[in-house]
Amino acid sequence: MFKYFLLKILFFIPLISLSQDLITNTFNRDTKSLNGTWHYIVDPYETGYYNYRYKPYDQLKENNNSAFYNNYHTDNKMALVEYDFDKSPTLTVPGDWNSQAEKLFYYEGTIWYKRSFDYTTTSKSNRQFIYFGAINYKAEVYLNGIKLGTHEGGFTPFNFEITSIVKPTDNYLVIKVDNKRFKEAIPTINTDWWNYGGITRDVKIIEEPATFIQDYFIQLKKDSPKIISGSIQLNNSTKKEKITLSIPELKINQELITNENGIAVFEIVSKKINYWSPNSPKLYDVYIKTEYQTLKDEIGFRTIETNGPDILLNGKSIFLRGICIHEENAMRGARAYNDADALVALTWAKELGCNYVRLAHYPHNEYMVKLADKMGIMVWEEIPVYWTVDFTNKNSLDNAKNQLTEAITRDKNRASIIIWSMANETPPSTPRNVFLKELILHTKSMDSSRLISAALEKHYKDGFNIVDDEIGNYLDIVAFNQYTGWYGGSLENAPDMKWDIKFNKPVVISEFGGGALQGLHGTIDERWTEEYQEYLYQQNLKMIEKIPNIRGTSPWILNDFRSPKRVLPVIQDGWNRKGLISNHGIKKKAFFTVKDFYNKIEKQYR
Ligand code: GCU
């Protein structure tokens, strides 16, 4: 029997649930970045977390915690210590671990991260929070030997209060990250993208006054283009507080008073709004001022609605000239995570002639949606309820709802986001419909200002392509993926295919396309050549523009991307080759087919 040496315990405080409601707009707050070099320990057997009876150390009653979250230093030569962060290798944060070390390329499991830091507060009365842009997939977070909490979900932010724990020097932050896939997770086990693990987005400490502006929603009131409405939430307000909401360019300087819950709601009439749109992505400086702080944001105002088959942006019918994007810098073969990565992707989208992007298949980092606001690119944002999720599992539903909550909380003030999507290619069934309807209700309860969709599928019967998925009745936009000419169907006949779509709603082709190895040339009859992909796009676009109620498309996909399902030697080698651009940033012939099509469509919708 293994006898673990009882380590001298600095002190062990049982798990305290310190998780806080999400703090938004962290870019404009008083923060200290913890990005940089962190030590790590690969722990495939989770030795640092479970004792030999497979009990988590941080939930044991007796004071025994040889887990890896105590940075234990001792002069006792007899001490049994079988780890040492400071002598362990390092990873860069943010960033997935798979692309940073050859031995981690396909690693799925637990890795422990550790970072030491000093912290000087600007005022004794202030409070401190530690904020994570995202960690894939599950994180256990410890600071100075105290467990702050757990987070599940690989693509949305979370924070914990650390006011009573953080010290002026030698704080040690330890995080157990586990990216193992499992059936009940969101996404579930089977996906067509690589399951990058790690602290994949920014880490920062946020310093706030005792009573601070935690969150706010400032957008146009639904169906009221002259009314700016919303709410402001203070954290730890012990009395009614005065708030000033000002938008100088609109000559708005509104005094508000919070209610007993620290919330102030408002509706402000403004007749001179310069509405946000792709051609004019106007963002207003917005200031929220309390007795204790002033917080600035840049917010665009626009209306988005549907009317029969039309999608109306600021009352005008539009066509979504889109492209799908994974959160990956293909040239690095790694998770994208910063402004530079976002600029590469959205600049390519603009070159393609896009006014819209589908951020697949999960919420992307905040740089992407903030840049989309600035560049005038409309956004479809989705959570990874993808393929065969465990629709009968309440934990899976709660997890999906939580990921929606965190995504909507973070991004609800971004004018560029016009669609929240619930799912991708999920197999119709009663449990699946119940699950998705729950997500739709939850989304509407949080944000009734945006459109709701999901990437459905079509089926073929008696010469017709049919879209009759019941969940379409609950969506604002009927979107579906179709791969004519790649996963079956004749390209030659594509332009004459017949469609039967059972809804009088806007139709968006949320995915179509086919693979090509950039630089491989041949005839249009040779799969994997650029010529085949180009012909596939030519024929699909001729078909698409004839589909009833068509109001947009987002071909699959901007870039080649990593997928362990794509193993054809020489051609795929672990990459999904459906990109219009290769993983070396080289545009394939089909890129220009789409560009020409969007150029034509743009003129039709002027
Ligand atoms: C599906 C799926 C994508 C996948 C693509 C493909 O439609 O939504 O995630 O990568 O098809 O097969 O390449």
Residue type, 108: E
Ligand 1 centroid from CA 314, angstroms? 32
Query: Is residue 559 in contact with ligand 1, taking CB distance under 6 Å?
Result: no
Angstrom CA distances, 531 to 122, 493, 505, stand at 61, 18, 34
Q: What is the pLDDT, as a whole number, of residue 77?
A: 86
* Residue position matching structure tokens 């794509």: 566
> Which atom of ligand 1 is the closest one to the Cα of 455?
8
- pLDDT per residue over 191-213, tens digit each? 999 999 999 999 999 999 999 99
What's the token pair of residue 88?
A: 């362990």
Ligand 1 centroid from CA 479, angstroms? 14
Between CA 72 and CA 79 the distance in angstroms is 10
Q: What is the pLDDT, as a whole number, of residue 364?
A: 98
Ligand 1 centroid from CA 31, angstroms? 38
Nearest to 133 by CA among 279, 277, 429, 342: 342
Ligand 1 centroid from CA 370, angstroms? 26
Query: Is residue 576 in contact with ligand 1, taking CB distance under 6 Å?
Result: yes
Nearest to 371 by CA among 422, 337, 397, 398: 337
Query: Is residue 510 in contact with ligand 1, taking CB distance under 6 Å?
Result: no
Phi and psi (nearest 5°) for 597?
-65, -45
Distance from the Cα of residue 432 to its chain's centroid: 22
Between CA 140 and CA 152 the distance in angstroms is 9
Positive or negative, the CA dihedral 339, 344, 346, 351 is positive
Q: Are 558 and 535 in contact (CB under 8 A)?
A: no
Nearest to 446 by CA among 198, 598, 245, 219: 219
Query: Is residue 424 in contact with ligand 1, taking CB distance under 6 Å?
Result: yes
Nearest to 484 by CA among 425, 526, 538, 520: 538
Ligand 1 centroid from CA 213, angstroms? 41
How far the first Cα of the chain sits from its last, in Å, is: 76
Query: Is residue 137 in contact with ligand 1, taking CB distance under 6 Å?
Result: no
Ligand 1 centroid from CA 481, angstroms? 8
What's the token pair of residue 310?
A: 């039309």
- Going along 394-524, which residue ranges are E strands? 417-424, 451-457, 459-461, 464-467, 478-481, 498-501, 507-511
Q: Are strands 304-307 and 575-576 parallel, antiparallel or unpaired?
A: unpaired
Ligand 1 centroid from CA 201, angstroms? 24
Cross-strand pairs, 127: 208
Nearest to 334 by CA among 100, 9, 51: 100
Degrees (nearest 5) of the Cα angle 430, 489, 356? 70
Which residue CA neighbors atom 12 of ligand 1 most closely? Answer: 192
Nearest to 466 by CA among 503, 489, 511, 500: 500
Cross-strand pairs, 233: 215, 263
* % residues pLDDT > 90 (the chain): 91
Ramachandran region of residue 55, left (φ > 0), alpha (ψ -120 to 50) or beta? beta
Between CA 346 and CA 580 the distance in angstroms is 14
Nearest to 200 by CA among 346, 28, 338: 338
Query: Is residue 215 in contact with ligand 1, taking CB distance under 6 Å?
Result: no
Give, to the nearest 10 degrees, the angle between helix 394-411 and helix 366-375. Answer: 40
Rg (Cα) of the chain, in Å, rounded? Answer: 25
Query: Is residue 511 in contact with ligand 1, taking CB distance under 6 Å?
Result: yes
Query: Is residue 192 in contact with ligand 1, taking CB distance under 6 Å?
Result: yes
Q: Are 501 and 549 in contact (CB under 8 A)?
A: yes
> Which atom of ligand 1 is the closest one to the Cα of 386?
8
Phi and psi (nearest 5°) for 75?
-90, 0
Longest dimension (CA), the chain: 80
Positive or negative, the CA dihedral 114, 116, 122, 124 is positive
Q: What is the pLDDT, as a whole number, of residue 433?
A: 98
> Which atom of ligand 1 is the closest one to the Cα of 425?
8
Residues 6+ apart with CB under 8 A from 395: 184
Q: What is the pLDDT, as a whole number, of residue 64?
A: 54
Query: Is residue 481 in contact with ligand 1, taking CB distance under 6 Å?
Result: yes
Phi and psi (nearest 5°) for 124?
-60, -25
Between CA 510 and CA 353 the distance in angstroms is 17
> Which atom of ligand 1 is the closest one to the Cα of 578?
13
Q: Are 174 and 71 in contact (CB under 8 A)?
A: yes
> Which atom of ligand 1 is the closest one to the Cα of 513?
13
Between CA 556 and CA 601 the distance in angstroms is 19
pTM surpassing 0.85?
yes
Q: Are 16 and 147 in contact (CB under 8 A)?
A: yes
> Which atom of ligand 1 is the closest one to the Cα of 486?
12
Cross-strand pairs, 453: 421
> Which atom of ligand 1 is the closest one to the Cα of 191?
9
Residues 6+ apart with CB under 8 A from 177: 110, 111, 112, 113, 135, 136, 137, 138, 139, 197, 198, 199
Query: Is residue 554 in contact with ligand 1, taking CB distance under 6 Å?
Result: no
Q: According to the 3-state scheme, what is the secondary structure of 270-333?
A: CCCCCCCECCECCCEEEEEECCCCEEEEEECCCCEEEECCEEEECCEEECEECCEECCEECCCC
What's the token pair of residue 432?
A: 């699946």
Which residue CA neighbors atom 4 of ligand 1 most closely? Answer: 192
Query: Is residue 578 in contact with ligand 1, taking CB distance under 6 Å?
Result: yes
- pLDDT per residue over 540-587, tens digit each? 999 999 999 999 999 999 999 999 999 999 999 999 999 999 999 999
Low-confidence ranges of the chain (pLDDT < 70): 1-20, 62-66, 71
Ligand 1 centroid from CA 358, angstroms? 13
Query: Is residue 469 in contact with ligand 1, taking CB distance under 6 Å?
Result: no
Residue of 425, 556, 562 to test ligand 1 pocket, by largest number of atoms within 8 Å of CB: 556
Q: Are 358 and 345 in contact (CB under 8 A)?
A: no
Nearest to 318 by CA among 372, 278, 353, 352: 278
